[in-house]
Amino acid sequence: MRSPTDARPATGAQSQSVQTFRTRTETKLTATVEMAAPAIDQVRAEAFGGRMVGVLNDACLTLMTSVGHQVGLFDTLAGLPPATSQQVADAAGCRSATSASGSAR
């Protein structure tokens, strides 16, 4: 068992950067420890951001391709001459993005 004279760090709600030690007379000695933030490699951070944008873009492309396949847009496109989005939507029995944003059918 430790004696009251042993110095020991406090735990619980106290900040990690502040350690409180108690002595035999129960006086508190507080020391603040300052830690330097690690340096950020800007080139690596920007590369990571670019990769994340690419991953999200690829995920959205995959989702939209799946939706297009499920509603038959690719089969419809295969049988149409060059057409507007409204003409493709009409041929597939869907609403185009331009008509969907204008009103609720």
Domain residue limits, the chain: 1-35, 42-100
The pLDDT assigned to 80 comes to 92
pTM for this structure? 0.48
The pLDDT assigned to 19 comes to 47
The low-confidence residues of the chain, meaning pLDDT below 50, are 1, 5-6, 10, 13-19, 21, 23, 104-105
Q: What angle do CA 79, 58, 77 make, to 5 degrees?
A: 5
The pLDDT assigned to 32 comes to 73
Phi, psi of 51 (to 5 degrees): -65, -40
CA distance 22 to 24: 7
- The letter for the amino acid at 24 is R
**Which tokens belong to 76?**
């419809």
CA distance 63 to 45: 27
The pLDDT assigned to 35 comes to 77
91 exposure class (CB count in 10 Å sphere: 0-12, 13-18, 19+): middle
CA distance 58 to 66: 12
